[in-house]
């Protein structure tokens, strides 16, 4: 019996119908408390979707069902406020490396929920193109694999996920952007994910300097390059929404908090076939920009990004920035460098 048959068997044994659409699967995953099972079911759902075994992203005949305000989480990890979390250290001792590994595993566990939440919360509501579901199913699958390999590495080193406390600051940020897909993409994927790209090289160096080459290679060869594609997805779909909002598209009217900024964008190059211009993930993150893009289009999109980040993210962004990785994600300095200074200073500069 393969994984798909096993999942269906469990649903039938509990008297429930198995998920039919990708959004149904996303809701099922968000309602799964055990982190290992959450990652396993997420991998199954993403694999089925990407090979075409799940026919629809959502049921257009049914009203979208709201995802939970908080995904189901087991009691395995004790949650503390971010201000009360113990210091991680620099990775020199085994205890410090375990703390770093646990923190990374915890982030990836929340990232699984965040990836499925963006599908469930916004995909059907805004009638996003199929490529949107492809991208975030891949992101969710990656995040689940990242959690699984980090959790396994913790066990190899004599610990386990849940041995240390964690915090849910990432989910607090997700809830503050739950009413606007633009804000969710900007904050979670273009601020938090990009910040991960900034700090990962240092984290890799800490494990390597501490003599843990196996963990360093795991981060360097698996997690780091895939996180670049996750940031690229955020940039790609933020830009797509900005341009879609400018065309004569009644669907775009449901995208909140955007009309004033977007009214400055031209219509001539963006009226038809936007989804067809979106490159596939396998084309690589450097190719994540829309075709036929004019410089003034990009400038307007970037101004909107600045406005949304200043509204939904507290404080300036923290340099130094990993400009090489960010550029690989299609995330140029013009997007983020002005946000590294306080707003009053930015207004003076502009």
pLDDT in tens, 282-312: 333 223 343 444 566 899 999 999 999 999 9
Between CA 23 and CA 33, with CA 28 as vertex, the angle to 5 degrees is 140
pLDDT in tens, 319-350: 999 999 999 999 999 999 999 987 544 444 44
Q: What is the pLDDT of residue 294?
A: 56
Q: Give the tokens for residue 162.
A: 């849940």
Q: Taking residues 65-85, what's their average pLDDT?
A: 80
Residue 3, domain member (yes or no):
no
| Spatial separation of the C-alpha atoms in residues 196 and 300, rounded to whole Å | 26
Residue 36, domain member (yes or no):
yes
Q: What is the pLDDT of residue 107?
A: 93
Centroid of chain to Cα 12: 31
Residue with tokens 């099922």: 28
Residue 173, domain member (yes or no):
yes
Q: Is 65 left (phi over 0), alpha (psi -120 to 50) or beta?
A: beta
Q: pLDDT band for position 30 (50/70/90)? A: very high
Residue 277, domain member (yes or no):
yes
CB atoms within 10 A of CB 317: 18
The DSSP code for 320 is P
| Spatial separation of the C-alpha atoms in residues 56 and 38, rounded to whole Å | 21
Residue 243, domain member (yes or no):
yes
As a whole number, the mean pLDDT across the chain is 81
Q: Give the tokens for residue 258.
A: 């955007």
| Spatial separation of the C-alpha atoms in residues 128 and 44, rounded to whole Å | 22
pLDDT in tens, 121-156: 999 999 999 999 999 999 999 999 999 999 999 999
Whether the CA torsion 179, 181, 182, 188 is positive or negative: it is: positive
| Spatial separation of the C-alpha atoms in residues 152 and 146, rounded to whole Å | 10
- Lowest mean pLDDT: which of 30-39, 202-211, 261-270? 261-270
Q: What is the domain extent for residue 336?
A: 16-56+77-349
Please name the helix (run of DSSP H) or strand (run of DSSP E) that holds residue 4, with its range, or none.
helix 3-13
Helix (H, G, I), strand (E, B) or coil at 336: helix
Residue 251 has pLDDT above 60, yes or no: no
Residue 154, domain member (yes or no):
yes
Count structural domains, the chain: 1
How is 14-83 classified by DSSP, letter by letter? TT-PPP-SHHHHHHHHHT---HHHHHHHHHHHHHHHHTT-S--SS-TTSPPPPPPSS----TTS-B--GG
Q: What percent of the chain has pLDDT over 70?
A: 74
Choose among 226, 242, 25, 230: nearest CA to 117: 25
Q: What is the pLDDT of residue 263?
A: 28
pTM of the predicted structure, to 2 decimals: 0.81
| Spatial separation of the C-alpha atoms in residues 309 and 304, rounded to whole Å | 9
Residue 147, domain member (yes or no):
yes
Residue 227, domain member (yes or no):
yes
Between CA 183 and CA 224, with CA 203 as vertex, the angle to 5 degrees is 60
Choose among 73, 75, 158, 144: nearest CA to 105: 144
| Spatial separation of the C-alpha atoms in residues 277 and 270, rounded to whole Å | 10
């Amino acid at each position: 019996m393969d994984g798909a048959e096993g999942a269906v068997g469990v649903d039938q044994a509990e008297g429930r119908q198995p998920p039919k659409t990708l959004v149904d699967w996303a809701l099922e995953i968000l309602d799964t408390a055990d982190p290992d099972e959450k990652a396993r079911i997420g991998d199954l759902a993403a694999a089925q979707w990407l090979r075409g075994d799940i026919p629809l992203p959502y049921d257009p005949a049914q009203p979208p069902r709201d995802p939970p305000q908080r995904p189901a989480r087991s009691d395995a990890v004790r949650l503390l406020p971010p201000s009360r979390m113990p210091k991680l250290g620099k990775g020199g001792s085994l205890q410090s490396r375990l703390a770093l590994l646990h923190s990374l595993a915890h982030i990836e566990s929340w990232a699984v929920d965040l990836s499925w939440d963006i599908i469930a919360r916004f995909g059907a509501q805004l009638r996003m193109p199929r490529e949107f579901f492809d991208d975030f199913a891949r992101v969710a699958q990656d995040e689940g694999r990242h959690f699984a390999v980090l959790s396994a590495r913790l066990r190899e080193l004599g610990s386990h996920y849940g041995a240390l406390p964690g915090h849910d600051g990432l989910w607090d940020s997700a809830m503050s952007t739950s009413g606007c897909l633009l804000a969710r993409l900007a904050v979670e994927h273009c601020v938090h994910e990009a910040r991960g790209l900034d700090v990962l090289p240092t984290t890799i160096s800490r494990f390597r300097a501490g003599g843990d080459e196996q963990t360093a290679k795991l981060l360097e060869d698996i997690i780091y390059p895939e996180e670049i594609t996750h940031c690229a997805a955020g940039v790609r779909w933020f830009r797509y929404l900005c341009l879609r909002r400018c065309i004569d598209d009644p669907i775009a009217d449901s995208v909140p908090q955007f009309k004033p900024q977007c009214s400055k964008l031209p219509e001539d190059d963006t009226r038809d076939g936007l989804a067809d211009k979106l490159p596939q993930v396998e084309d690589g993150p450097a190719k994540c920009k829309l075709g036929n893009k004019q410089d003034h289009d990009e400038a307007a999109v970037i101004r909107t990004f600045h406005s949304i980040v200043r509204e939904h993210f507290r404080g300036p962004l923290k340099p130094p920035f990993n400009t090489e990785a960010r550029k690989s994600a299609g995330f140029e300095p013009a997007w983020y460098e002005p946000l590294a200074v306080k707003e009053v200073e930015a207004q003076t500069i502009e």
